[in-house]
A and B are shown apart, each in its own frame.
Chain A
Amino acid sequence: MKDLYSGIAEILEVPEDSVDASFDLANGEQEWDSMAVVSTIALVDNLYDVALDGVKLAECETVADIEKLIKENS
């Protein structure tokens, strides 16, 4: 999940080491908005070849929620 964490850190414009499963997506410099959601869809597709639903992804509150969504769609 290291690549996922560093990718999300880049998208939300926060230090790489600040992101782990418990990271609150609302705490990024970049808002958890449609642009961040679309960027995360591309990241997850590239890392895991998994397509995530935009609405469900937008509802995620923490990185752990995203990890759960990835597992459900794998």
Chain B
Amino acid sequence: MNRVAKIEKIASYFPQTVLTNEHLSEVFSDWTADKIYSKTGIENRYIADENETALDLACHAAERLFSEHQVSHESIDYVIFCTQAPDYFLPTSACIIQDRLNINRSAGAVDINLGCSGFVYGLSLAKGLIESGQVNNVLLLTADTYTKFIHPMDKSVRTLFGDGAAATLISACNSDCPRISNFVFGTDGSGAKDLIVPVGGMRQPIRTEKDYEEVTDSSGNIRTQCNLFMNGANVLNFTLREVPKALDQILKKSGRDKEDYKFFVLHQANKFMLEALSKKLKVPKEKVPILMEDGGNTVSSTIPMALERMFDGKMLEPGDEVVFLGFGVGLSWAGCTVTI
């Protein structure tokens, strides 16, 4: 028997305000609510309040994990917080989370800045910490509030992204075989411009009124330099190019076939992309769950949220083998296999 890391429990959290397709169809009059649903596979997105941050959402998710799964905050000895919307440039949000959740002062706490690949990266860090004997229980928090970056008249992103958080407990256990393994990673920073908030960081601080100047693109979407921009064509091409290669690498590492895995839990970008990917991966669509109807694309939280829904829906049993693949902003991607 070896000491291995295992995903023990997951709990997610959405903010209260709901953005429906009906509301969006009033804003974007050329799209009906049905059309938005058929294109995106999304019914509702949840929107953080003005004073509610990703850190707040993450703490709510963690509190759900503690209360509904009988997890003691005292058992946590490391916090990894994955977000692209920290409360401050400094200090580290995970430090504030330690205090808010009353986690022991002997715990480690670190932020990681990644988007849609962030959950898989978080799992790999948690596995390393646990299997090297450094800690026993890692609280992996993923949370983002992309809607704060989105211009209300930018249909290309407003229809897709929602706010939310997930708390995942990864713990040490004794097992004959690894429970989280066969990691593959990938990075292509030349695509940084394809999914970006150009102004507001240290490279281009907000300096003048021009940064808030609204520009309308050829598809009629409006945004400023302080808003989220996504080049959908480039992101799709990147995904269709890199994700199949990443899956091949995972299969090669694991020495297994696609048929050996019950599900391929991919980052829930949108229904259209997941359907295109399942064709490209040559995986039956029944094995590629689309579980984003309620909540939309919540960035680094989509994989744990899908997993929580699969547990709730009794789609998974102990011993089932699944593949995770996250991909997006960076450009960054990562995948691994998990034994439930």
Binding site for B on A (CB under 8 A): 31, 33-35, 37-39, 41-42, 45-46, 51-55, 57-58
Contact = CB atoms under 8 A, between A and B. Distances in A.
Interface residues of B, number: 21
Contact of A51 (B39, B217, B237): B237
Interface in B30-73: 30, 39
A31 B156 CA distance: 14
A34 B221 contact: yes
B238 to A, nearest CB: 10
Majority secondary structure of chain A interface residues (helix, strand, loop or mixed): helix
Interface stretch (B228-236, B314-322, B329-337): B228-236
Interface in B232-246: 232-234, 236-237, 240-241
Interface string B206-236: 0000000000011111000000000111101
A46 B218 CA distance: 26
A54 B241 contact: no
Nearest to B230: A34
B232 A34 contact: yes
A42 B219 contact: no
Interface of B: 30, 39, 156, 217-221, 231-234, 236-237, 240-241, 272-273, 276, 279-280
A10 B219 CA distance: 19
A7 to B, nearest CB: 12
Given A34-B156, A37-B233, A46 B280 contact: yes
Contacts of A37: 232-233
A42 B232 contact: no
Contact of B272 (A39, A52, A57): A39
A54 B231 contact: yes
Given A34-B156, A35-B39, A35-B156, A41 B233 contact: yes
Main secondary structure of the interface of B (DSSP, over half): helix
A46 B219 CA distance: 24
B233 A57 contact: yes
Contacts of A35: 39, 156, 219, 232
B219 A33 contact: yes
Given A37-B233, A38-B272, A54-B231, 4 more contacts: A35-B232, A38-B236, A54-B233, A54-B234
Interface core residue of B39, B219, B241 (most chain A CB under 10 Å): B219
Contact of A34 (B233, B240, B273, B279): B233
Given A31-B30, A34-B219, A54 B276 contact: no
A37 B241 CA distance: 17
The residue in A31, A42, A55 that gathers the most chain B C-beta atoms within 10 A of its C-beta is A42
A52 B233 CA distance: 9
A45 B241 CA distance: 10
27 contacts: A31-B30, A31-B219, A33-B218, A34-B156, A34-B217, A34-B218, A34-B219, A34-B221, A34-B233, A35-B219, A37-B232, A38-B272, A42-B240, A42-B272, A45-B237, A45-B240, A45-B276, A46-B276, A46-B279, A51-B237, A51-B240, A51-B241, A54-B231, A54-B237, A57-B233, A58-B218, A58-B233
A36 to B, nearest CB: 9
Contacts of A42: 236, 240, 272-273, 276
B35 to A, nearest CB: 9
